[in-house]
Structure 1
Amino acid sequence: MDFIIRTPRVPTPGETLTVHSFDTGFGGKGANQAVACARLADSDIKVSMVGNLGDDGFGADYFEALKREGLDSKNVRSLKGEKTGISTIIVDDDGENRILFAPNANYAISPEESKDWELVPEEADVVVFQLEIPSRVVYHNVRQASKKGKHVIFNPAPAELLPEDIYQHIDTLVMNETESSILSHSKSGTPEDIAQHFLSKGIKDTVIITLGGDGLVYATKAGLKGRLAAKKVKVVDTTAAGDTFVGGYAVQRAKNVGKDFEYEKALGFATLAASITVQRRGAMDAIPKRDEL
């Protein structure tokens, strides 16, 4: 669940500041990306969400929200005695956001490898991962999905250094500029250089680095590369822009399984969807439907 605070600016240490507004909403990177997939997909694409909720009121409300989106939620578990994960999102007058994440039920997974760790649906062709459940569980499932021939899309957020072997199990690595700097141990070099750096680590298909208002760069194992400009729009709130982009890209991948993939067409679709999201307030509420593009 998202607790969203809109403020003219971020307060300084020790300062009390009166803000513009406070709202609650459904969020979380995985759920935002799943909802983006569901809203942006063709009717023949099935979207399934995998994750944990608490057995509190937030969790009950969340199940109803997922049903309304037409998502398959049979792999979303309600955990007795746990609280649903929350994020506090602070949005300033420039539309920039700062997020504080309390995992709660997201992290309520066995500390030792077990059946509890097996999360990837067998029927999935494309699987999207983030890092809002324990990273060791994510890495296990990335490896399993890769071995089963699924297209693995990995969005390393919240960002952390990845095990060196994990790159060879990722088909598409998509991250923003900050995340790419953390993962590459470097704040120097052009985004194009950093994309090539990650390809050299073993990424199987594509590296995408989103640059906010400056668009994105991408590079592929096959040697394709380029830069796409962002849509020029009035930015209100960037909270779910990255999640919308990932969802838009994922449905293009799912739509083209077994076919030649048109990278710039897919990236343009995802960029257009994200450009609509940033013009709206909220996280999940801001994600557009396919007929709005």
Structure 2
Amino acid sequence: MSSDPKPFYFGNIMSDNEETNSDFFNWNKVAITYCDGSSFTGDSQTTYNGTNLYFRGARIFDAVMQELLQKGMGMAQNALLFGSSAGGIATTLHCDGFRNLLPHASRVKCLSDAGYFFPSKKFEDERNSFTPTFQGLITLHGSTKSLPKTCTSRLSPHLCFFPQNVQQDIQTPIFFLMSAYDIIQVTWTFKRNETILSCILDDSFCSTEIYRVLQDFRQEFLSLLPNQSNSSSKGVLITSPSAHGQETSKNWYLDMVIEGSNETIAKLFRDWYFDKRGIYIIDRYPFP
């Protein structure tokens, strides 16, 4: 039985199809396999049951970047760093560092897809939520030194894993793509509420009370987003149907009724990336 890894699927923004991906089809594309569990921030080692464990996420990211620079990435005129979910967090945390590697490029931007997680103050159970998970992650991986110092100088390190706390200090243009009812965010926030989780997956299970709770949850999320006046440097596109990872799904090319017009997520992002217009769009569709 072969142990060779499965080939990475280069689709959507990484596709070489000129018809569907006309702006990015002929770019050089690199997929960094996510294997460290810390959004590429870890640098520690420990012993567990007599086994030495090494966490090297930060070193992996740096080593890949250096190899790419040696292979010619430093000559790029346009560059994009993007990731989904934990990769979206990594993109947020490494965005400025990536830009600093390419001082001669004319356009360097970042795309964080499904990585705008937040600790809900209204609904999250502090004993079973993002907060203790990120606290444990940072301790185990030794991530503090890899987090933005502009954030860790003000807040506890685990809070610097949340985009709301680092976005103000990011100098590189970054685009946040997120569902207002992101499946992972909702699952972590309402872990013990089966009725809400059922509603997210199938609206036939929804009730007026659940709708009200989820609308309150949505409003809390929207209150954390970057200031709208920064739409040229901080792009924002918040969709409504529950999803997780839209750049890596069929949603990327689906026509979406947003702000009264039919436009794809792909087109909205392209317009922002190539400086055709600022994008700060909150889908008004009342889902769920």
Q: Same fold (TM over 0.5)?
A: no
**Bigger Rg, which one:** 2
- Which TM-score bucket, shorter chain as reference? 0.3 to 0.5
Higher strand share: 1
TM-score of the superposition, structure 2-length normalised?
0.39
TM-score of the superposition, structure 1-length normalised?
0.38
